[in-house]
Chain A
Amino acid sequence: MATELNSDRPQRQRSEQQGGEPVRTTIRNLELARHVARDAQRVVAGDLSEQEFYERYHEAYLHEFGVDSRAISRQEVPNVASGQGAAKGAMAERPKPMINGPLSRRAFLMLAGGGAAAVALAATLGRLVPQVAYARTEGSSESPRAQGAVEGSQAVKRIQMGMVIDLERCTGCLVCVDACHRENNTEEGVHWMYVLAYKDENKEGVNFLVRPCNHCTNPPCVKVCPVMARHKREKDGLVLTDQDICIGTRYCEVACPYGVNYFQWGEPNPDTEMIRQHGRKDYRGRTVEFNPPRGVMGKCTFCPQRQDSEGKRGTTSCQQACPHDAIHFGDMNDPNSAPRQYLERRRQEKGGYLSTFRLLDDLGTEPNILYIGHQPSRSAKQVDGPITYEDWGWVDRRGDVLEGPRPWFMRVFGG
């Protein structure tokens, strides 16, 4: 069951010893990224044990950084590697990409460099601060946006969950996409989390744009919904669809400038009904989680099933899965939250000059995903990444597979 898919994944451990170590944080070499991603996939597929995965990179880690303080044999590993138990049920049949033969010494070292950079950062920078403070009721907002929203009121600062996504660390491995599929049991071709690999002018190689829902502070989808099925949850600012109310006008999908919505055009996969029958509701008793039933809109939810639970609060499946620690999830209005702290650290690393952007910010949606990196220009073109959707055995362009049954006359005449 998708509800339990991630229950056995350990929380990422924080290592608090390696605070100020200077680490190369960006993987520029795409070949390298490819290897890292493939190995991550192998681990997920169960072809490679976590232990092996880390031991393989131990030497390379030492080579790259001169020190290996991960103590891998004693410590829990990043949860990208903990997916074996989850590959049950409908997901088990999913075809896996082909893995290449033995790696050359050189390739191995390169792989190790990339992998080590990621792992090292996770360990080095870690999560030094509490992830999300839900019960916060005081303090002044540091975000001018948040101030705008509560203009004139000095009372409660609102919690707005969001993400800081470090595009400089993304390698396009699509592990986050996979994690989202598993967590939310979505249909073929439905990518609530979607990673666009693109080429752009004046930028070398392939760049990435990680695109979950922006959970906007001023969400057009919420404004246009005629039945208020699409709504903004008060507790944490999540933008959700009430699957019991939605009538499928698809106005939200049309109003959203980011294209994050995926409608349930046909019968959902069998697990969906099973989950629904188990009565998955959020803390308010509304059905907002997982794959929607037929005729209802779905999109990235920031995993309310996690936000409402004790153990996984303050995490999302994509964020936990990211092997490069590129996704940081938490309250964007709280300067002490994980994403804000991460942002601050990166700013300091870069000597105070950090390039960040919000996607289509000029449309006034006030998106809550803050990207570290450079905004794709108008001439940017999506290309195949180092790992394609097809490599994972998925459908990228869902429209191609949306074909319902044909009526008798078409079958007869072959129309």
Chain B
Amino acid sequence: MAEQSREALILKTLGRPSPKFFLLLAVAGGAVAWFAYAWSFMLRYGMITTGLADWGSAGGVTWGMFIGGYIWWIGIAHGGIIISAAVRLFNLRTFMPVARLAELLTLCALSMAALFIVLHLGRPDRMVVSIVRAFPRAIFSSPLAWDVLVITLYFTLTATYIALTVRQDLQAIRGGMGNEAAVGGGRARGGYFSRSRLGSSTVRGYTGGQYAGRGQLPALPALVHRVLLTGYKPEESKKVERMVWWLALAVIILAPLFLHGGVIPWLFAILPSMPGWYGGLQGPTFLSIALTSALSGVIIIAYIFRRVYGWEDIIPDSVFKGLTFFLIIFAMLFLWLQIQGLVTGLYAAPVGVEAVTRAKVHSFSYWLAIGLVAVAVAYLGAQRLRPSLFSPHRTFVVAFLPLVATLLEKSLFVVEGIMEPRFSLYRAVPGAYKPSWIEVSAIVGTIGLVVMFFALVPKVIPVVEVTTDEDRREHNA
């Protein structure tokens, strides 16, 4: 395919939306509206409307699907950093086309996780004031304060990362549309942009294509572009590239080791009150399932974009094969860590640990979650061994299994942990819990929000690095 049409393909997302686009927005918006209704109902009457109650004499479960959903979204948010790190730090250029999609997924999944925290609170209205006031002291002792810090940091670093990398692309587009000199300098760039010379003609192709006769983007995207390009100078790209490299390095350590392998599992792992939670195994277990779900998320998003925009050449099969490979590794790690937990929890475990492990073994949802991951591993593994089995479409379908499994497994982890506390003398232990319509609506609503995000953001910024294709061609040559 000609270079010109590649660039035009990427910039197609900024074009005029089709009726289907509005239909999608309407469906997702409907889910969000329903969620808003459910939440307002809960805010109006209190959390009594949820399936939650106190553990102990009251026979309830204190943390439920809200926390499960929170862990789930944080896990999905890991997609961005794995892909970016693979590209930038380990030079796995195969994943370049989906890097920004993954980073965007990180941003919105993190926002959804934060939303679940707000949802979970009894007094969300006080949240900001109370947290900010106590923060300088609470950071020393409260794992939730650590969470707030690290999630804010992860969000900030990812947003900075996107802002810095998108600058280059936007300048290229703008240059093409208005000032050719800004792009046509043929300057050398590192990383994504190394050796790339984005011909202004390609962007003109875009200009003349989608917005022929106007020569301008709609007002809002244009405004966003201007804000993102504040203070742009042509000579900055090399330094920005180095800064982005450092960013990637910081995030690749921070996010997996200290977020999903750190402060999130520590929320639970530090509490001997709940034997199902306590212990150092939680860190690796959380991380393995997080990475599994994150890769699933990226596969799903990438496949949808490829399908919708006809990006078979921009996101080739090799991307899915590569993502699948890592998905298998992390999913197998997860299964292996489950075995560790089951063996130590059943063989000669202390009473509390044994009780919760037994409860787990007798839970249908647990085996459903494990089964879903196992089936995904088996199928994707077979696909690798026999390439004839491979198709991006099938990979896309199978990628849903670990996502469902994560939500199940993590919600179950939270709920069953509280059902089987160390102090089990209460008759009302184990407590009972059934997710209410509000909690289910929250899961559906946040998925709707993510769909809206991925419908709207490509209308504003290019979701694949504009210069990537040339890089790949040079790389292959």
Contacts and interface: CB of A to CB of B under 8 A. Distances in A.
Q: Quick check: do A and B touch in the complex, using CB within 8 A?
A: yes
A382 B142 contact: no
A381 B428 CA distance: 11
A108 interface: no
Interface in B312-327: none
Contact of A254 (B126, B127, B141, B274): B274
Given A189-B58, A250-B122, A257 B423 contact: yes
B220 interface: no
Nearest to B424: A378
Nearest to A364: B272
B54 interface: yes
Given A247-B131, A399-B432, A228 B59 contact: no
B48 A402 contact: yes
A371 interface: no
A20 to B, nearest CB: 37
A402 B60 contact: yes
B148 A226 contact: yes
B148 A363 contact: no
Interface stretch (B39-47, B189-197, B224-232): B39-47
Interface stretch (B132-140, B199-207, B291-299, B456-464): B132-140
Contacts of A294: 46, 122-123
A262 to B, nearest CB: 5
A265 B49 CA distance: 8
A228 B138 contact: yes
A226 B267 CA distance: 11
B59 A266 contact: no
A4 interface: no
A224 B47 contact: no
Contacts of A360: 422-423
A53 interface: no
A188 to B, nearest CB: 11
B63 to A, nearest CB: 6
A134 interface: no
B54 A296 contact: no
Most interface-central of A224, A376, A399 (chain B CB within 10 A) = A399
B145 interface: yes
A400 B433 CA distance: 11
Interface stretch (A140-148, A191-199, A281-289, A327-335): A191-199
A200 to B, nearest CB: 10
Q: Contact size class for B?
A: 35 or more
A266 B48 CA distance: 5
Nearest to B147: A226
Contacts of B137: 228
B63 A250 contact: yes
A247 B60 contact: no
B54 A226 contact: no
Contact of B421 (A257, A398, A399, A403): A257
Interface in B289-348: none
A386 to B, nearest CB: 16
A249 B138 CA distance: 14
A392 B375 CA distance: 54
A398 B58 contact: yes
Given A254-B62, A265-B46, A226 B126 contact: no
B121 A209 contact: no
Given A257-B273, A263-B54, A405-B45, A399 B431 contact: yes
A274 to B, nearest CB: 19
Interface string A219-245: 010111111110000000000000001
A19 interface: no
A382 B430 CA distance: 13
Nearest to A405: B45
A186 to B, nearest CB: 12
A404 interface: yes
Contact of B59 (A196, A224, A397): A397
B130 A398 contact: no
A376 B425 contact: yes
Contacts of A189: 58
A383 B137 CA distance: 43
Nearest to A191: B57
A295 interface: yes
Nearest to B350: A378
Given A404-B49, A407-B41, A397 B144 contact: no
Interface in B105-163: 120-124, 126-127, 130-131, 133-134, 137-138, 141-145, 147-148
A398 B423 contact: no
A251 interface: yes
Most interface-central of A226, A262, A402 (chain B CB within 10 A) = A226
B427 A382 contact: yes
Interface in A146-189: 189
A91 B63 CA distance: 31
Contacts of A68: none
Given A189-B58, A396-B57, A402-B60, A296 B123 contact: yes
3 smallest beta-carbon distances between A and B, as pairs: A248-B122, A259-B56, A295-B122
19 contacts: A198-B425, A223-B141, A225-B142, A226-B138, A226-B144, A227-B133, A228-B137, A246-B122, A246-B126, A247-B131, A249-B122, A262-B54, A295-B123, A363-B273, A382-B426, A397-B428, A399-B431, A402-B60, A407-B437
Interface of B: 38, 41, 45-50, 52-60, 62-63, 120-124, 126-127, 130-131, 133-134, 137-138, 141-145, 147-148, 267, 271-274, 351, 418, 421-423, 425-429, 431-432, 437
Given A266-B45, A295-B121, A407-B437, 14 more contacts: A223-B141, A227-B138, A245-B130, A246-B123, A247-B122, A248-B121, A248-B122, A257-B273, A266-B48, A267-B46, A398-B59, A399-B58, A399-B431, A404-B50
